[in-house]
Structure 1
Amino acid sequence: MPEEESIDIKFRLYDGSDIGPFRYSSASTVDFLKQRVVSDWPKGKTVVPKGINEVKLISSGKILENSKTVGQCKTPFGEIAGGVIVMHVVVQPSLAKTKTGDALEFIPKFLVCYFCSIQQ
């Protein structure tokens, strides 16, 4: 029986700080990764996800689907022997109506990392 591949992943937050790296099985789902990000979210951040539905993971410029596995999301140029894959984390709060019900809560259109810019 072949041994399952393990992949090191760290999650880069909006302010350039990281969660991880952690080692995951290539069979782990994106949904599982999101649960880990939410549970390990650093204290004291101005933006805090309330659940996994508010979190998007981006790898190699693509938003990852919850049902995909880490192995399916991996790109060939992301494979560096002994390297760590970096996934960007975008928190997109649910659109919540204000008390009047007329206006929507403000959500920024640009999230900036120290290394790249992600436009929604």
Structure 2
Amino acid sequence: MLEDDLVELKFRLYDGSDIGPFHYSPTSTVAMLKERLCLEWPKDKKLVPKTANDIKLINAGKILENNKTVGQCRTPFGELPKGTITMHVVVQPPITTAKTEKKADEAPKKNLCVCTIL
């Protein structure tokens, strides 16, 4: 593959910092990008993805599907052919499990008193 065929991407994190830019083949999948992001993620961030599935990539206002390729994700409007494409990264909060829900249910219950005057 020629250097000219590669797509330059950088990833904008929730706090405005960036990871990259990196060069990818147009045939690289979104899932591959997410895997690389997990490896390159700065360790000093408050929010860190545990797996690639915790990450969503957004380009041109669309959430990218894992099976799409970089070539399919390029947007034709206004981007220079040699320009860096910025994708936004969202880290999904961990899904609550039955164990954490149970703790909420175990909270002390308040005694209620009902009085009726006839």
Same fold (TM over 0.5): yes
1:60/1:34 Cα in 2 relative to 1: closer, same or farther (>3 Å)? same
**Deviation, structure 1 residue 96:** 1.9
Structure 1 unpaired stretches of 5+: 104-120
Larger radius of gyration: 2
2:102 aligned to which of 100, 103, 112: 100
RMSD: 2.0
* Cross-structure match for 2:65: 65
> Greater shift after overlay, 15-24 or 79-88?
79-88
- Larger strand proportion, structure 1 or 2? 1
CA distance in 1, matches of 2:20, 2:103: 39
1:78/1:27 Cα in 2 relative to 1: closer, same or farther (>3 Å)? farther
Q: Does residue 36 of the first structure (1) align with residue 27 of the second (2)?
A: no
Aligned residue pair count: 102
TM-score by length of 2: 0.79
1:27/1:42 Cα in 2 relative to 1: closer, same or farther (>3 Å)? same
CA distance in 2, matches of 1:38, 1:31: 11
Provide runs of 4+ in structure 1 moved above 6 Å. Answer: none
* Cross-structure match for 1:74: 74
CA distance in 2, matches of 1:32, 1:101: 37
Residues 87-109 of structure 1, C-alpha deviations (whole Å, 9 max, x = no match): 00000033123162557xxxxxx
The answer on whether the counterparts of 1:78 and 1:85 sit within 8 Å (CA) in structure 2 is: no
CA distance in 1, matches of 2:78, 2:51: 28
What's the secondary structure of 1:15's corresponding residue?
coil
